[in-house]
A and B are shown apart, each in its own frame.
Chain A
Amino acid sequence: MSAVEPNVPGSAPLLRIENLKKTFSIPTTLFRKPLTLTALEDINFTVEKGETLGIVGESGCGKSTLGRCILQLISPDEGKVLWLGQDLTELKPEEMRKRRQDLQIIFQDPLASLNPRMTVGEIISDPLRTLRPDLSRTERRARIIRMMEAVGLLPEMINRYPHEFSGGQAQRIGIARALITEPKLIVCDEPVSALDVSIQAQILNLLSELKDEFGLTLVFISHDLSVVRHVSDRILVLYLGRIAELASGEMLYTDPKHPYTRALLTAVPIPDPKRARMRDVEELMGEVPSPINPPSGCHFRTRCRYAIEKCAAIIPPLEEIPGGRLVACHRWKEID
């Protein structure tokens, strides 16, 4: 793929995804062949140290699967997940476990992702049990307290149980648990989607503070384009398992190239009545097709107002275009 720069030793990005593909098998009836759902294919991108890469897309686009593939919580069928040049897909489970110190995740439903029978202290320190068994009790406790303070939880809450906490506080516990191993990269999978607006803003600010404080790199997965714009340096747009576009947040929002990105952006409600009334919504017809039986050629063509015959016949390659951005559309130049 032309988009991938050569891997110069010594300048390896923190994370590089190469030709990633993931399929799932969907059982049908007893004697029929199972169906294949292609969740991700031809995924190529890098994540640089210290940046926040936003991943956006609608339901079924593969954004959560991608997050889980990065962490090897599910193994991709093909392709590489290069962490500082080392392919995580090749690691033995024991070696991968050690790597998990560097790579952590925060989930969407904060309460569902916390074990209800463990205290807050136990939950937050749980990753240390396997990853840092060498730490003494006092060291471990000191770390728990430090993390609780970092995420804005009172240390005296250490012996409480998850059900005593609100959604926002539970998400703080989840963040503390992710931070305690001193990771380099955190995958945030819809971390604020389940939260009320006022609490959502608190957590977004917290994540950006922690990112600076701990020198973190974030992969931020969300369906909410306003939130993604707010937190991300660069943004990756997925549609039905493929990359549609990748660009800096500023470029993507002010000058989108892919017809899908354009439509997606005009569909985002703007919290400003006068602007909202002035705006021209480039309305997309229909809904996202089923990933079990996606359209031939460009997956987006069935909803695309610019689609031509070529789009049905040939999958548009992910092209590098000026500004260090990537776009997968046969006609991006013409429609620009």
Chain B
Amino acid sequence: MTDVLNVRDLNVSFALHESEVHAVRELGFDLRQGETLAVVGESGSGKSQSFLAIMGLLAKNGRATGSARMGDVELVGMAPGKLDAYRGKDIAMIFQDPMTSLNPSLKVKTQLAEVLVKHQGYSLDKAIKESIAMLDRVGIPAPERRANAYPHELSGGMRQRVMIAMALLCRPKILIADEPTTALDVTVQAQMLDLFKELTNDFGTALVMITHNLGVVAGLADRMMVMYGGRAVETGTVDELFYDPRHPYTLGLLSSTPNPESRARRLNPISGLPPSLEHLPEGCSFNPRCAFRFDRCLVERPPLEPVGEGQRRKACFYEGPLVAEERSA
């Protein structure tokens, strides 16, 4: 399968008053055509900032270095004017709160049609027709009527569908979704996840799903990347990581997640708190919370290295079996 995105040595930092905070460090991964990659981590893990950097959407004090190549096109460091030729066309991004991404003073159809007029050179009429077809495609009932609505007139689920429609108008190769279902009710979330599955299948779009919800990952993704303290700590297929995690943090996340199908008496949380990016621990960032740490972890940082023959990787020195109590198979 061909890669649609190759990220190497991506670093993101933010300039503060007197210091610099490193939000993402030495991130590298490949995204394959049509696959769904889940990027999992807790607040401050760098999962959102990595992709904002790739999209050229960092805050003013943010700086990205390294490489994110979409075929022959290098996205990191590209001037915003040039980026606009690709953003929304080849690579699109949607966010948790659609209301903050939609323009409240423009009708839905105007916002959608603009994308096609700009990127595909469609006439306004043709663009509006195409937009309405796409609203229909993402499951919006009475799309002609909804196209004439303003964003505030739509429910949360509808707005997220509008965002998805807008993101897919130009049939992008890559869709990045940053916690797209977190603000939605669980029944609406289920509808959205189904829609993502269907659309990525039909359009062959590669989907990056940024989320903290392992339930969402299990139902949707092919591969996953777990981030901690600004770095990738484990990558592999969803089955590999769920059924045979090799990084203690991945194991900790899984053991912290309640399963609605089986009621364990106790969860096995990870002790302690996520690190502050300004004061990352020496050695492995996870070491203060890790039950498997040994001397080396305190002084040396484990690189992200292949595990066995396959494609999976982990950043951990510990080679023994990871066993948590009450882990169900």
Contacts and interface: CB of A to CB of B under 8 A. Distances in A.
23 contacts: A198-B42, A198-B270, A199-B273, A200-B256, A200-B269, A201-B257, A204-B258, A205-B267, A226-B258, A226-B259, A226-B260, A264-B187, A266-B190, A269-B190, A270-B215, A271-B215, A271-B242, A271-B254, A273-B218, A274-B239, A281-B194, A283-B187, A284-B191
B263 A269 contact: no
Contacts of B258: 201, 204, 226-227, 229-230
Question: Would you call the interface of chain B mostly helix, strand, loop, or mixed?
Answer: helix
Given A227-B258, A267-B187, A276-B218, A201 B263 contact: no
Given A269-B218, A275-B261, A287-B155, A198 B256 contact: yes
B207 interface: no
A59 B217 CA distance: 23
B58 interface: no
Interface in B178-205: 185-191, 193-194
Contact of B269 (A198, A267, A271): A198
Interface residues on A, range: 35 or more
B252 to A, nearest CB: 6
Interface of B: 42-43, 155-158, 185-191, 193-194, 212-219, 238-239, 242-243, 252-261, 263-264, 266-271, 273-274
A169 interface: yes
A204 B255 CA distance: 13
A273 to B, nearest CB: 4
B30 to A, nearest CB: 21
Contacts of B269: 198-202, 205
B243 to A, nearest CB: 8
A208 B156 CA distance: 34
A304 interface: no
B257 A226 contact: yes
Contacts of B259: 226, 270-272
Given A204-B267, A205-B267, A197 B256 contact: yes
Contact of A272 (B155, B186, B213, B261): B261
Most buried by B among A169, A196, A288: A196
B65 to A, nearest CB: 28
A191 interface: no
Interface in A185-240: 196-202, 204-205, 208, 223-227, 229-230
Contacts of A273: 218-219, 238-239, 242-243
Given A226-B215, A270-B219, 14 more contacts: A199-B269, A199-B274, A200-B269, A201-B270, A202-B271, A223-B185, A225-B260, A229-B258, A230-B267, A263-B187, A269-B219, A270-B261, A272-B218, A288-B185
